[in-house]
Structure 1
Amino acid sequence: MTSPTDPGRRLLAVEPSVDDGPANVVLDPSERHQTWWGTGAALTDASVSLLAGRDDLLDLLFSPTSPDGARLSMLRLPLSATDFSPSLWTWDWDGAVATPPDEALAAADLVRDEILPRQPDLQVVGAPWTAPSSMKDGGSLRGGALTDAAETSYADLLVAQAAWLRDHGVPLAATTLVNEPGLSLDYPSMTMTDDQLARLGNEVGPRLDELGTQLWALDHNWSDRPRVDAVRALSGGFDAAAFHCYQGSPSSMASLSAPHLVTECSGTTDDPTATFAYDAKVLVADSVAAGSSGLMMWNLALDDSHGPVDAGSQWGCKDCRGLLTVTPTSAVAEPEFWTLAHLSRAASPGAQVISVQAPPGVSAAAFANPDGTLGLFAHNDTDAPVTLRIGSGSGPVRAYVVRPGELFTFRGLQADSQ
């Protein structure tokens, strides 16, 4: 259990209560759906500055055995500066060699030397926010569009980045062509047309396949689902699709035949009770029901001023919060941390989503895990305690009382015994 208001009830282990009633949360492992990839967040420059050398915080985020940790298994790695970069940068590209700047080296070193030893099965997902300024119509890293004339150079750069990361010990499982291709603002960002995305998919996808790296389409909002259909109709180079939570609804993903997942969502200053309710219903229950194979939040860590940020940007997010808020003397786990911590405990990478029925007011998602257990993520979105009586088939029923607003994870009921 995790309470939004009681610090004494955070990942609190509880025993079943005595209740002989029939199951009201029914897990059905005979109905299996998408494979689950995992949970994660982004290693922005802000996060690098706060996490490097912090063994305690890296354990809290990534150790798969940490009793009070998030147990993340995925990591989103920016391949250029973002709105959470104190200085602007991209990789250098001279037509033959991709040269990472100090910021990219620092992030790669942190992944290889400090995160991977804690989570050897980590899946890294790359995402550039912008191409080098020479490839853009405005000649700046801030805003603008990729020029048609630069497409070949940009394709070569993306493949070279993937190869460099692989050669330097970063397990790049996938990458996207650009973060939020419909957005051009006064921080590192870049628009791309559907035709450009499709042409680059045809050019980059097969070359990334040779490196063992997937190419994911879009990396923008649920409301941009038509763009996924458009580029996939023009290109067979995409292996999956990536969505953000800021506009639209998870139902937009539901009929997509390709694998898909949520790769970005950020809390701001909303309170824990509201955050738990939104995360559990929209990002977990509704998104998983719409076929999502994973959940990645935005920044891993920010400071108590919601940064460090790109000070030259008016439009970059000024009130985003990380999974952790870190100061020189403290680290606070924010509500999104607890959402991912519960989800990580319910579903291991490689699990299959299964059907689940839950009572009104309870958001839920269920999984059949590789170790044979069934996992349940749930949230009580009512103003009264609710008794969850969990069962599967004709097997045993286990009852737990979940307080108002609490997150809940159950792991048990051997799937092969049902």
Structure 2
Amino acid sequence: MRRPDRFRSGRALPITSHVPLPLSASSRRSSLPSVPSVPRGSVRRIAAVAGLLVTSLLAVGVDPSGAAPAVAGAGVAAATVTPSFVVTSPTASTRRLTSVGTTTKSATVTFTVDTTRPQQTWWGTGAALTDASVSLLAGNADAQRLLFDPTRADGARLDALRLPLSSTDFSPTSWTWSWDGTAASPAPEALRAISTITQGILPLRPDLRVVAAGWSAPAAMKTSGSLRGGGLRSDSTAAYGAFLVSQAQELQRRGVPLRALTLGNEPAHSSDYATMTMEVGQMAALGQQVRPQLPSDVALWAGDHNWEHRWAYDQIVAAAPGSFDGSAYHCYGGTPSQMNGPTPFRIITECTGTTDTWASSFAWQLRNLVAVPVANGSSGLLMWNLALDAANGPIDTASRYGCRSCRGLLTIDGTRVSAGPEFYLLAHLTRAAQPGARVLPVSSSASGTAVAAFRNPDGTTGVVGVNHTTSTQVVAVKVGSTTRRYSVGAGELFTYRTP
């Protein structure tokens, strides 16, 4: 993750530069004034946004750049599905993923889905399996079901997962895979994560897709000589590329459904926990080396840093044509409109919640992690920690700069498991959009709204949104010749699903 107090002003670098990617200026997360500079942990804090924010989703097929199995196309016959409308209140705990019926009241806003112009494909929805999450989820079958079981009525129904390939700021100890010059071998911590996936999550979600993220190379490959901070040595670039390829091969050999890989998490960021900077030229060279050696069903995504680093993505992809299948973005700096390139496939691979209210979290996240990104080509959303404890850990206690206010999708305190706002954001999204979704346009009768659309592989249409106003709104959704109206309370998330 990238800490706000480590940001610096950035400028474009030539691809031959031998300095790390620069960081941009940012305020501390406790005093974030607006969307453009959003440090990790303050991703929901915004100035008031008037009106109803809505994202609609329709789906078909899987984008090949996401390296996912192909599914039926736009002409697939609709399944027999009863129209449903589900809401989650930011304040009433008894109104979470609650089904509501139609209303005869007049609509205050109408959304019309255009099913004739399919666009990008939805890759998936999920979060990261950090060491903290492994320690809380391993052996906790109920929590695993709550996150991944696609049939659970009160579940998130996640279908994707991000796997760090070394320790992070949510690791009690520092570690990475070992390297003997030929093959990478997983550390005990990596084996525990692999076991959690293959023995716990996969039986619940056989169609799970995993993106692995390089985090820190072995210390000998780094300028710091340590897993903590530093950059990739120029004379270790080729060795690190071979290391990544070996990791990908070993993950698949052990049964992990690996579908994508990034070269390194936040390559412009160095801190006092496991982090590693890389130069633009290094990443271009790595792309050219790694892409041809990856398994054929594993995509290589560029970046894995903030929207504001789009300029660096452009340079990397231009310097290594054909090497990157997609671009991965984080939400902690810049704006989601910056993810409108440079590759056809784009995805958000990290964002976290912290201490903001449920209502402000719902409003900011629905707009900035779903609606605007989808309008700019995003094909998926992966949040940060799947689960944390009541103290927002376990964390790397030796680090001064690791996040101490990040919020997991679940908080697990002994036998007590509670779901946070990010859990419900993703739960509403998965109920609207299956993997293989095709984004379609949707128009609104009111200004200040945010919309997008998909058709699911089974032919159903989904709509997910939030009422950001302070009063109940009557939402009308029109798909084809059918229009249905529902009442949505102030601040509530909602999902509509219909044949």
Task: Please indicate, yes or no, whether the TM-score normalized by the shorter chain is above 0.5.
Answer: yes
Q: Which moved more, 1:23-32 or 1:151-160?
A: 23-32
Q: Deviations over 1:26-48 (max 9, x none)?
A: 11111221100110000000000
Within 2, Cα distance between the matches of 1:117 and 1:231? 38
Residue 348, structure 1, aligned to residue 434, structure 2? yes
The aligned residue for residue 476 of structure 2 is: 389
Which position in structure 2 is the counterpart of 1:322? 408
Match of 2:51 in 1: none
Runs of 5+ unmatched residues, structure 1: none
Query: Equivalent of 2:252, from 144, 166, 178?
Result: 166
Q: Please give the alpha-carbon distance, in whole angstroms, between the structure 1 residues aligned to 2:230 and 2:108.
A: 59
- Give per-residue Cα distances to partners, 1:225-269, cap 9 Å, x unaligned: 011110000112110000000000010012434200100000111
Counterpart in the other structure of 1:307: 393
Identity of aligned residues (%): 51
- Which of 214, 221, 224 aligns to 1:138? It is 224
- Tell me, yes or no, if the aligned pair for 1:83 and 1:310 is still in contact at 8 Å: yes
1:8: how far off?
1.0
Give 3-state SS (helix, strand or coil) of 2:277's partner: coil
The gaps in structure 2 that reach 5 residues or longer are: 1-86
In 2: Cα distance, 1:333 partner to 1:55 partner: 15
Matched residue, 1:376: 463
The structure 2 residue matched to 1:213, chosen from 298, 310, 320, is 298
Q: 1:222 aligns with which of 284, 304, 307?
A: 307
Contact 2:211–2:259 (CA under 8 A) maintained in structure 1? yes
What is the deviation of 1:152? Answer: 1.4
Distance (Å, rounded) in 2 between the aligned partners of 1:344 and 1:287: 16
- Kept in 2, the 8 Å contact 1:362–1:378? The answer is no
Match of 1:6 in 2: 92
TM-score by length of 1: 0.96
Q: What corresponds to 1:197 in structure 2? A: 283
For 2:90 and 2:105, the matched residues in 1 are separated by 26
CA distance in 2, matches of 1:257, 1:110: 32
Residue 139 and residue 23 in structure 1: after superposition, are their counterparts in 2 closer, same or farther (change >3 A)?
closer
If asked which structure has higher relative contact order (CA below 8 Å, sep 6+), I would say 2
In structure 1, distance between residues paired with 2:413 and 2:96:
21
**TM-score, normalised by the number of residues in structure 2:** 0.81
Query: Is the partner of 2:120 in helix, strand or coil?
Result: strand
The CA distance in 1 between the partners of 2:108 and 2:448, in whole Å, is 18
1:61 matched to 2:161: no
User: What letter matches 1:26 in structure 2?
Assistant: T
Aligned-partner SS, 2:327: strand
- Secondary structure in 2 aligned to 1:370? coil
Output the amino acid matched with 2:203. Answer: P
- Greater shift in the superposed pair: 32-41 or 350-359: 350-359
Secondary structure of the structure 2 residue equivalent to 1:75: strand
- What SS class does the counterpart of residue 99 from structure 2 fall into? coil
Q: Secondary structure at the match of 1:30?
A: coil
Partners of 2:315 and 2:449 in 1: CA distance: 36
Question: In structure 1, what is the Cα distance between the partners aligned to 2:97 and 2:392?
Answer: 25
2:384 aligned partner: 298
- Worse-superposed segment, 352-361 or 122-131: 352-361
Contact 1:366 1:377 in 2 (8 A): no
Distance in 2, Cα, partners of 1:113 & 1:280: 32
Map of 2:8 onto structure 1: none
Q: Secondary structure at the match of 2:440?
A: strand
- Tell me whether 1:80 sits opposite 2:163 in the alignment: no
Task: Report the Cα distance in structure 1 between the residues aligned to 2:415 and 2:455, rounded to whole angstroms.
Answer: 41
1:241 and 2:291 equivalent?
Answer: no
Instruction: Measure how far apart 1:129 and its partner are.
Output: 1.3
Question: What is aligned with 2:122?
Answer: 36
